[in-house]
Structure 1
Amino acid sequence: MLDTKQLLDRFISYVTIDTQSDPHSKSTPSTDKQWNLAKKLHQELLDIGLEDVSIDENAYIMATLPSNVSHEVPTIGFISHFDTSPDFSGTNVKPQIHENYQGGDIILNKAKDIILSPAYFEDLNKYIGNTIITTDGTTLLGADDKAGVTEIVSAMAYLIKHPEIKHGKIRVGFTPDEEIGRGAHKFDVEKFGAEYAYTMDGSEIGELEYENFNAAEAKIHFHGRIVHPGYAKGKLKNAMYMATEFVESLPKNEVPEKTEGYEGFFHLTDMNGEVEKAYLHYIIRDHDKTKFEARKELIYKLGQLLKDKYGEDAITVEVNDQYFNMKEQVLPVKHIVDIAEEAMKSLDITPILKPIRGGTDGAQLSYMGLPCPNIFAGGHNFHGKFEYLPLENLIKATEVIIKIAELTAKKSN
């Protein structure tokens, strides 16, 4: 049986270390403070007894739990990231522990009148009787993805102490900068040496994901011409009007706030301008590859229509792919999803198979040759002050890792 106090203490020790990443930095890791947890993790993996423990110049950490069976078993991996989102402060995190939650509002910060309420966050109602870990309302919590890190380390420590649980060779990996889309960029798949892996980076209990968005970004620049407005007729070109025309030409209902499930979208993330120049930045998302390509083509088509209207030099359009749907890489080895699903069911967890409306390290790793479905880490409301983690979810996710290791060895016998 897992040591609940040790699990909680480990999680608290991680989240109180600030590891916020920085999208404007060009270094890896993007912030020096990520090294503080990276070095701690490196030492902790040595202390619990893992082998081949390494940390490279970019703060990528890997380690091995050797097989304890004589028959051949596929080498599997478990991966999490230790950075936290730049969307909200991760400095001076002060977790609060609310035991035996009985429903109703949770006061995060009385002085600032910050309340976590099931009236708005309905998922809280699922956790009556649980121990809820929250923020103090001034920072994020960091369960994304320090819950995943905690679960992997704790599962490895448990397997080392319980050799009666049979398993094959297991590799673990921890990455920086996932929150800014770079977590897999310098991950050495060949060195990791697993046939497949699981990222522990989902949200609510039961989540099991092997589909994600295809993703691209679009950068559209508009070039106008300024003339004194009193004498501008037939001469002035207002770049901001061109940009507005572009925005208005895209489908009004295909935006994040009006879509769900498998529905894709165009999301305007940045805009600025003046008469002579304007700029739009979009992210483009769709699960379906054909629809994804059509969305990118529409961006180019609208750009060309405006070029025809205002001049070839008036508009420049750049569309760059960011990542792709891991489903195409996972389906040929679908049994790895089936094993995770079986592990959950054996622990009385109802699997929730659904597409990720976003990206994950696993998507990039899958296209780098490491098929990598995503499993729940247990937290909710990531990237903000209302983030919380039921302790029981932390326990269950750790148990899922242990069970996957056990089932993989059994099915290979």
Structure 2
Amino acid sequence: MQHIIDRFVSYVTIDTESDPSSNTTPSTSKQWDLANKLVEELKTIGLQDVTIDDKAYIMATLPSNVNHEVPTIGFISHFDTSPDFKGANVKPQIVPDYDGKDIILNAEQNIILSPSYFKDLLQYKGQTLITTDGTTLLGADDKAGITEIVTAMEFLINNPEIKHGKIRIAFTPDEEIGRGAHHFDVEKFGAEWAYTMDGSQVGELEYENFNAAGAKIIFKGKSVHPGYAKGKMINSLLIANDFINELPKDETPQETKGYQGFFHIHHLSGSIEETILELIIRDHNKFKFEKRKNLIAKIAKKINKQFAKQFGEDIVVAEIKDQYYNMKEKVLPVKHIVFIAEKAMREIGIKPIIKPIRGGTDGCQLSYKGLPCPNIFAGGHNFHGKYEYVPVESMQKAVNVIVKIAELTADGAYQQTETKSKKS
């Protein structure tokens, strides 16, 4: 396992934080530092057709070692880290033989990773954990996935007795800001299907995600001296507050789980004259997703009607943009690709945890670009913050899953599961 630890640490200590305010791809120039390192590493371990384009998308090939026809499959991860928390100067801490007690991440700042709060920790008693030092995120999202893919390809190269078809791998920038698949060349990648290694705990297997939209709502007002404002002032801040109060109180991220959708207000700023509200809309069900967007428009229309005479024009302007859609629609017709991953997990002793993603991955966008792409666990927990950690044993299990998927596909398991898929 030391090989996995060394590889992972070499990746997370390179700052690759993405930037949603940037118009470039990648959104930050520092993402090139890891991208270029990966290109050289892929060549060193013996992969072929290693390429990196002008937007830092990396692709490589492991050629087939069987004589019969096998579908080309792919594995994908992203190398950027979230801008939600500091990603520079990551100092990973190795915790061998975890004893199930509190882990002091930073004694000086009294930052503790505790199983009393993060109960998942107790699953990994006796294992080796990699944590932060309490001042940055770790970057297991998704450098754990990259570690696993590279390690699996290296293992297959060094163990040619394990039969597999042609495998394509890819690493992308800017997934954390929703752009990871925007410039992905599906035709160049050339796989019939792929898997993103971007989930959390061992066993996760996901082929459903939210339908997603973002809304920017502008509220206008009229500023007048407050001492003489009666019948004249229109306070855009208060109108924004009225708008928020029209949204369902129990349909927020903190009140929902599973397949339940939500409205999430993440930015509010303004003055009397103008207030801007930004929120995201999420729902797994396409009909409910459209209904949520319609509610935003309906509330805006109601307020506009209320102020039509006094203001003389629309006082609320709502801009709604779809971001991505539920990959389920694209995966169900080829559900054998899910069954293969499920079978791979079971054959190596992992119980699959099949559940919807309460978010999105590169895979959901890629599925709509013609590359069906379920998501598989990468092993990390508590992403995007100082309490992030990953068990090394979980990364090893993900490596084993990749290898087993390649082996099962070459064995013709995709044909058996395709029949099962059609029946289901």
TM-score bracket, shorter-length normalisation: over 0.9
Amino acid at match of 1:316: V
Offset at 1:340? 0.2
Percent identity between the aligned chains? 68
- Structure-to-structure mapping, 1:315-354, within 5 angstroms: 315-354=316-355
Partner residue of 2:127? 130
Q: Residue deviations 1:21-77, cap 9 Å, x none?
A: 111111111111110100000011111111110000000000000001111111000
Partner residue of 1:367? 368
Within the alignment, does 1:158 sit opposite 2:159 as a pair? Answer: no
Within the alignment, does 1:395 sit opposite 2:396 as a pair? Answer: yes
Alignment equivalent of 2:14, drawn from 14, 17, 21:
17
Alignment equivalent of 1:75, drawn from 72, 77, 82:
72
Amino acid at match of 1:180: I
Amino acid at match of 1:14: Y
Offset at 1:144? 0.4
Alignment equivalent of 2:247, drawn from 246, 250, 260:
250
Q: Residue deviations 1:193-238, cap 9 Å, x none?
A: 0000000000000000000000001111111112222222222211
Q: 2:299 and 2:111 mapped to 1: Cα distance?
A: 44
Q: 1:135 and 1:236 mapped to 2: Cα distance?
A: 51
Partner residue of 1:103? 100
Length-normalised TM-score, structure 2: 0.96
Q: 2:8 and 2:30 mapped to 1: Cα distance?
A: 18
SS in 1 for 2:122: helix
Structure 1: stretches of 5+ with no match in the other structure? none
Offset at 1:90? 1.2
- Structure-to-structure mapping, 1:244-323, within 5 angstroms: 244-311=241-308, 312-323=313-324
SS in 2 for 1:86: coil
Q: 1:164 and 1:201 mapped to 2: Cα distance?
A: 28
SS in 1 for 2:349: coil
Alignment equivalent of 2:190, drawn from 189, 193, 216:
193
Q: Residue deviations 1:127-160, cap 9 Å, x none?
A: 0110011111111111000000000000000001
Q: 1:44 and 1:151 mapped to 2: Cα distance?
A: 14
Partner residue of 1:223? 220
Q: 2:151 and 2:225 mapped to 1: Cα distance?
A: 68
SS in 2 for 1:100: coil
Length-normalised TM-score, structure 1: 0.98
Structure 2: stretches of 5+ with no match in the other structure? 416-424
Q: Residue deviations 1:286-337, cap 9 Å, x none?
A: 0000000000000000000000001242111111100000000000000000
Amino acid at match of 1:78: F
SS in 1 for 2:77: strand
SS in 1 for 2:133: coil
Partner residue of 2:421? none
Partner residue of 2:60? 63
Partner residue of 2:386? 385
Q: 1:47 and 1:63 mapped to 2: Cα distance?
A: 12
SS in 1 for 2:294: helix
SS in 2 for 1:313: coil
Q: 1:230 and 1:85 mapped to 2: Cα distance?
A: 47
Q: 1:65 and 1:98 mapped to 2: Cα distance?
A: 34
Alignment equivalent of 1:35, drawn from 29, 32, 44:
32
Q: 2:231 and 2:390 mapped to 1: Cα distance?
A: 61
Amino acid at match of 1:156: M
Within the alignment, does 1:47 sit opposite 2:44 as a pair? Answer: yes
Amino acid at match of 1:322: Q
Q: 1:391 and 1:332 mapped to 2: Cα distance?
A: 35
- Structure-to-structure mapping, 1:175-214, within 5 angstroms: 175-214=172-211
Partner residue of 2:419? none
Q: 1:233 and 1:253 mapped to 2: Cα distance?
A: 35
Q: 2:194 and 2:154 mapped to 1: Cα distance?
A: 18
Larger deviation, residues 12-21 vs 230-239 = 230-239
Larger deviation, residues 382-391 vs 219-228 = 219-228
Q: 2:104 and 2:268 mapped to 1: Cα distance?
A: 37
Offset at 1:6? 1.2
Q: 1:347 and 1:24 mapped to 2: Cα distance?
A: 43
SS in 2 for 1:13: helix
Offset at 1:112? 1.3
Amino acid at match of 2:328: K
Paired residues in the alignment total 410
Partner residue of 1:169? 166
Runs of 4+ in 1 over 6 A off after TM superposition: none
CA RMSD in angstroms comes to 0.9
Partner residue of 2:418? none
Within the alignment, does 1:238 sit opposite 2:231 as a pair? Answer: no
